[in-house]
Structure 1
Amino acid sequence: MDTVCSRPAYAKVNLHLAVGFPYPDGYHPIQSLFALVDLSDDIEVSWKRSKTFSVEVTGLEAYCKKDDDTLTKAARLWHEAGGCPLQISIRCRKQIPIQAGLGGGSSDAASLLLLLQEIAGDSALEQEVLEQVALKVGSDVPFFLSGAKAAVVTGRGEHVVAVEPKDLTVLLVMPTDFAISTSSAYRLLDESRQGGEAGKSLGMQEMLHVYKKSSA
């Protein structure tokens, strides 16, 4: 009989986001302040030991093509990095709106990686390797993997420094019929400033000062 385990995958909001010009590899440097919110997906994994690795994902059929999702990508990269062979069936109960900047796919992937580490036990990946896998899956995944409730995120997303979380009290998330992927949003941003300069943004210390002051 398969063993079943589950974990919530919480959404995040950007309390601040500055996007730099792209690196040669196409990725963008960011300076952001992420904060978790109560809205979440639920990731459930049924698994058993095996001589070979296999993964099946359900619950995302309405959102993406088969095998073209962060859960499948995360599972395969985890195994390729040295994760033990398993037969896993992943069910995602989707509540976070897609292509809304809330990090749903990245949070799903991070929750799955943490579940796989728990399942692997003594065979779990080293933390440094796990963090490398997370970044390969997506730029927001390291934040969700870190366990921070709020953090300053820089670089491509790999540098995560936790800050004291704040009570957001009430945050109303209102999905609309309009959706845009991160890659499309960044492409449009690049097109809008071709030949120009990136707009002025808060510096790191100024951003943290505003954040801390607003909690008073």
Structure 2
Amino acid sequence: MALPSHCAEETALPVPCKVNLRLAVGPRRPDGYHDIDTFFLPLPEPCDAFFIRRFDEPGDIELSCSDPELETDDNLVVRAYRAFAAATGFSPRLEASLKKRIPHGAGLGGGSSDAAVMLRYLNDRAGEAALAEPGLATLALALGADVPFFLLGAPAMATGVGECLIPTDPGLSGWHAAVVCSPCHVPTAWAYAALDAARTFPAKAGASLLTSVFDANRRAFCVTGAPLRNDFEPVVFAAHPELGRVKERLLALGAAGALLSGTGSAVFGLFRQRQTAVMALADLSGDGPRTFLASL
């Protein structure tokens, strides 16, 4: 008769999200990707939550999720586990429960962050099989362009497809981010295709285009010497005008700057005073948007 499994460890882990303080996008490359110049800022809210049970014997991952539609082998958490196991041979049996609070399709990187937390969890327990940071980052990039940033876990400027990271202090300590997540979903592939269709580039390399001076945002709020900018705003706001109205409202309610995050649909505002941010979110909350407050 088989002996009962022994749970070696139970771990609860928070999963942060991100916003982009800047997102400049170059033309489509021959490989289908785009060069970007971005500034990633991690936020503690909204966050997902992991509860992981690790067993002594080798095996696979069993993932349960508060959103049953995400309980598939194509989930980035499952893919991260299996990619790490294939690369290292370390494959403990895991029961992983994921509570989703980061909205899907909001430009906040929830799936990428989930994957990064799983990679870090496994690498911290892999002993002699653990990967050095460059190898772990390479594994992360194969899962998604944002995953290496979430492995880093700190504010960073990023180029390439987002994998060339330079940790950078944005100087926002003591500030507050008000995040507004509207019900609409903006598919990333659609946003890139719409951006490509909406503009033309001069005949020069995409990387050099991203070194030009950034366009001034209305009531521009400067971070690291450049105003807030997101190249996706014109096409996303045209398709979803309610998101543009959220940005306008955040500015009217006292945000020093406001911006679409990633390809959307989340819009965030930066506030010097917590109470002002709280009042702004109270104005914007209701039956539609989900709102979150993050202290930086």
TM-score normalized by structure 1?
0.86
- Select which of 11, 22, 43 maps to 2:50: 43
* Structure 1 residue 7: Cα displacement: 1.9
Is residue 5–residue 115 contact of structure 1 (8 Å, CA) maintained in 2? Answer: no
The residue that corresponds to 2:98 in the other structure is 92
Is residue 83–residue 124 contact of structure 1 (8 Å, CA) maintained in 2? Answer: no
Q: Give the Cα separation in 2 of the matches to 1:62 and 1:185.
A: 26
Q: Give the Cα separation in 1 of the matches to 2:62 and 2:44.
A: 27
* Change in CA separation of 1:174 and 1:187 when aligned onto 2, cut-off 3 Å: same
The residue that corresponds to 1:209 in the other structure is 225
* Structure 1 residue 168: Cα displacement: 6.3
Q: Give the Cα separation in 2 of the matches to 1:80 and 1:60.
A: 27
The residue that corresponds to 1:152 in the other structure is 157
Larger Rg: 2
* Change in CA separation of 1:83 and 1:17 when aligned onto 2, cut-off 3 Å: farther
Identical amino acids, percent of aligned pairs: 34
* Structure 1 residue 183: Cα displacement: 2.1
Are 1:73 and 2:79 counterparts? yes
* Structure 1 residue 58: Cα displacement: 1.0
Is residue 7–residue 115 contact of structure 1 (8 Å, CA) maintained in 2? Answer: no
Once the two structures are superposed, the pairs formed by residues 159-198 of structure 1 within 5 Å of their partners are: 159-165=164-170, 166-167=172-173, 169-193=175-199, 196-197=200-201
Count of matched residue pairs: 209
Pick the structure with more strand per residue: 2
Q: Give the Cα separation in 2 of the matches to 1:31 and 1:63.
A: 33
> CA offsets, 1:125-157, max 9 Å, x none?
222221111001100011110121x11011011
Secondary structure of the structure 1 residue equivalent to 2:176:
coil
> CA offsets, 1:188-216, max 9 Å, x none?
212223xx2189767489973137xx9xx
The residue that corresponds to 1:16 in the other structure is 22
> CA offsets, 1:9-40, max 9 Å, x none?
11111111011122222222110011111211
Amino acid at match of 2:173: D
Is residue 81–residue 129 contact of structure 1 (8 Å, CA) maintained in 2? Answer: no
Q: Give the Cα separation in 2 of the matches to 1:169 and 1:50.
A: 46
Which deviates more from structure 2 when the two are superposed, residues 84-93 or residues 150-159? 84-93
Once the two structures are superposed, the pairs formed by residues 65-144 of structure 1 within 5 Å of their partners are: 66-144=72-150
Are 1:26 and 2:42 counterparts? no
Secondary structure of the structure 2 residue equivalent to 1:102:
coil
RMSD over equivalenced CA pairs, Å = 2.6
> Unaligned regions of 5+ residues in structure 2, if any?
1-5, 215-221, 228-256, 258-296
Q: Give the Cα separation in 2 of the matches to 1:60 and 1:49.
A: 26
Amino acid at match of 2:192: Y
